[in-house]
């Protein structure tokens, strides 16, 4: 926490140290082939022992000061949404960003699709979510998911790259226009905004100087963060870090592109984001509170609130002591969702171990849970744990979770 509030911010190595304490999802068994004709004879064969680090740790992660509920029971999820809809005219959850955010949007719908059978509205029609998930060609579309089982529940995804490198054009971009509408009250914000934007402009390193592109990236943060600060006064805002780089996934990439996607660029980008987050938090304080001795947290949340994760001790129907989606009291400001990073880095470490063992051909390496062949996107095990955290944040206060759970 101290490192995160420091001028330099945390690095990928800091999160890698935390990841080392997490349970592993793979184990190795001896491959004993009596016929002796198997090319893997004598190797240790990887076995996927689980699909959730939160599940493997029984909801206890060493860097989160509360217990995370698994939310693996559909009835608990539907009860949560029913309780929320009883409090509001509608429940709107909004995912804004690129493919990283789209994958989280998909995983969020997948968790309850067997009960809700979502229909997803696209620019050119409507598809069942189960069918859409099998159609990768539609990845850049804006989408709104609805269900007949809960007509007032809306889950929206907007594909935005935040990649315009000309400042005058970026100020007029659709991304900033949407944030301004929420910030200035021209449009009602969603109950929960999950946003993530990555260093897309760094893809221009083959044709531009890196320092020019980093300056463009810094300008994006300078313009976006104040709007997020304003929106976060009205609704809960979670900012998801970039999934870390799998250095063995794209062996054929040119050196410039590998640098563009590197952890160093992500660390620098996040350092700039946190810098502007702290700066705007400082500016928003009254003058008498702006003392050099007072530390400005990078989120307004308490340690218990910072863990977007939490509980099945539930007593539905009772009034909530505090709705965790409402930014009141001492928790204004965007929440930097960095509890996600150790989960992602742990998966990358397992991919690297499989690579060292020359097991890149194995289904565990190539499968969707670790997603070792994808250089930039989190695997399904990490995405599933992030959805579990989201459900803890959304549900535990309305389900009256026991205080041992996060966001109760």
pLDDT of residue 276: 92
Determine the Cα–Cα distance for residues 282 and 302; give it in Å rounded to an integer.
Answer: 17
Query: In what order do the strands lie in the sheet containing 125-128?
Result: 125-128, 119-122, 143-146, 153-159, 91-97, 192-196, 236-239, 335-336
| CB 301, CB 332: distance < 8 Å | no
pLDDT of residue 252: 55
Instruction: Pick 307 or 124 by higher pLDDT.
Output: 124
Is pLDDT of 348 > 90? Answer: yes
* Contacts with 241 (C-beta within 8 Å, 6 or more apart), sequence order: 196, 266, 270, 336, 337, 338, 340, 341
Strands (E), 198-352: 236-239, 335-336
* Contacts with 51 (C-beta within 8 Å, 6 or more apart), sequence order: 25, 369, 380, 381, 384
Determine the Cα–Cα distance for residues 228 and 226; give it in Å rounded to an integer.
Answer: 5
- Place 119 in a pLDDT band, splitting at 50, 70 and 90: very high
- Place 251 in a pLDDT band, splitting at 50, 70 and 90: low
Determine the Cα–Cα distance for residues 219 and 272; give it in Å rounded to an integer.
Answer: 9
CA distances in angstroms from 215 to 163, 169, 268, 280, listed in the order given: 12, 15, 11, 19
End-to-end CA distance of the chain: 22
Q: What is the mean pLDDT of residues 271-282?
A: 86
SS3 at position 297: coil
- Place 356 in a pLDDT band, splitting at 50, 70 and 90: very high
Determine the Cα–Cα distance for residues 86 and 307; give it in Å rounded to an integer.
Answer: 26
pLDDT of residue 171: 87
Q: What is the mean pLDDT of residues 151-174?
A: 88
- Place 25 in a pLDDT band, splitting at 50, 70 and 90: very high
Q: What is the mean pLDDT of residues 122-151?
A: 88
DSSP 8-state class, residue 354: H
* Look-up of token digits 């998909």: 106
Is pLDDT of 140 > 90? Answer: no
What's the distance, CA 241 to chain centroid?
A: 6
pLDDT of residue 302: 41
Instruction: Pick 311 or 362 by higher pLDDT.
Output: 362
Determine the Cα–Cα distance for residues 375 and 26; give it in Å rounded to an integer.
Answer: 20
| CB 84, CB 402: distance < 8 Å | no
- Place 379 in a pLDDT band, splitting at 50, 70 and 90: very high
Is pLDDT of 375 > 90? Answer: no
pLDDT of residue 309: 36
Closest CA to 208 of 163, 268, 162: 163
pLDDT of residue 46: 93
Strands (E), 129-199: 143-146, 153-159, 192-196
| CB 259, CB 205: distance < 8 Å | yes
Strand partners, 153: 91
* Contacts with 282 (C-beta within 8 Å, 6 or more apart), sequence order: 290, 296
Summarize pLDDT for 293-324 with one digit per residue, the tens. Answer: 344 444 544 434 444 433 333 444 444 467 88
Strand partners, 121: 126, 144
Q: What's the mean per-residue pLDDT of the chain?
A: 84
**% pLDDT > 90, the chain:** 58
Q: What is the mean pLDDT of residues 6-10?
A: 80
Dihedral sign from CA coordinates of 206, 208, 209, 213 = negative
Q: What is the mean pLDDT of residues 19-29?
A: 94
- Place 329 in a pLDDT band, splitting at 50, 70 and 90: low
Strands 153-159 and 91-97: parallel
Instruction: Pick 92 or 161 by higher pLDDT.
Output: 92
Instruction: Pick 181 or 377 by higher pLDDT.
Output: 181
Q: Alpha-carbon dihedral of residues 128, 130, 136, 141, nearest 10 degrees?
A: 40
Summarize pLDDT for 32-60 with one digit per residue, the tens. Answer: 654 544 455 456 899 999 999 999 999 99
Dihedral sign from CA coordinates of 381, 273, 190, 154 = negative
């Amino acid at each position: 926490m101290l490192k995160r509030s420091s001028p330099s911010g945390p690095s990928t190595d800091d999160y890698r140290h935390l990841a080392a304490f997490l349970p592993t999802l793979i184990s190795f068994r001896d491959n004993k082939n009596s016929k002796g004709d198997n090319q893997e004879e004598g190797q240790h064969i990887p076995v996927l022992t689980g699909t959730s680090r939160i599940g493997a740790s029984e909801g206890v992660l060493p860097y989160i000061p509360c217990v995370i509920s698994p939310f693996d029971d559909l009835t608990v999820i539907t009860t949560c949404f029913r309780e929320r809809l009883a409090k509001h005219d509608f429940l709107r959850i909004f995912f804004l960003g690129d493919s990283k955010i789209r994958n989280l949007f998909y995983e969020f719908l997948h968790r309850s699709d067997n009960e809700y059978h979502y229909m997803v509205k696209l620019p050119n029609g409507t598809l069942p979510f189960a069918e859409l998930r099998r159609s990768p060609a539609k990845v850049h579309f804006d989408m709104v998911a609805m269900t007949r089982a809960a007509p007032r529940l809306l889950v929206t995804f907007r594909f935005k790259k935040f990649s315009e490198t000309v400042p005058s054009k970026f100020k007029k971009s659709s991304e900033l226009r949407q944030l301004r509408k929420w910030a200035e009250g021209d449009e009602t914000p969603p109950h929960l905004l999950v946003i993530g934007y990555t260093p897309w402009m760094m893809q221009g390193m083959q044709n531009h100087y890196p320092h020019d592109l980093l300056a463009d990236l810094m300008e994006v943060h300078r313009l976006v963060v104040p709007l997020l600060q304003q929106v976060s006064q009205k609704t809960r805002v979670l900012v998801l870090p970039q999934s870390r780089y799998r250095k063995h996934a794209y062996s054929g990439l040119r050196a410039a592109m590998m640098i563009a996607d590197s952890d160093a660029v992500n660390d620098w980008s996040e350092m700039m984001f946190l810098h502007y987050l702290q700066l705007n938090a400082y500016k928003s304080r009254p003058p008498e509170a702006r003392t050099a001795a007072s530390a400005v947290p990078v989120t307004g949340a308490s340690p218990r609130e910072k863990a977007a994760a939490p509980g099945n001790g539930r007593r539905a129907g009772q009034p909530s002591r505090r709705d965790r989606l409402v930014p009141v009291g001492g928790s204004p400001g965007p929440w930097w969702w960095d509890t996600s990073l150790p989960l992602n880095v742990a998966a990358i470490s397992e991919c690297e171990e499989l690579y060292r063992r020359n097991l890149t051909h194995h289904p565990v390496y190539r499968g969707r849970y670790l997603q070792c062949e994808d250089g930039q996107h989190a695997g399904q095990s990490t995405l599933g744990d992030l959805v579990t955290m989201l459900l803890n944040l959304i549900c535990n206060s309305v389900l009256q979770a026991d205080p041992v759970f996060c966001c109760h």
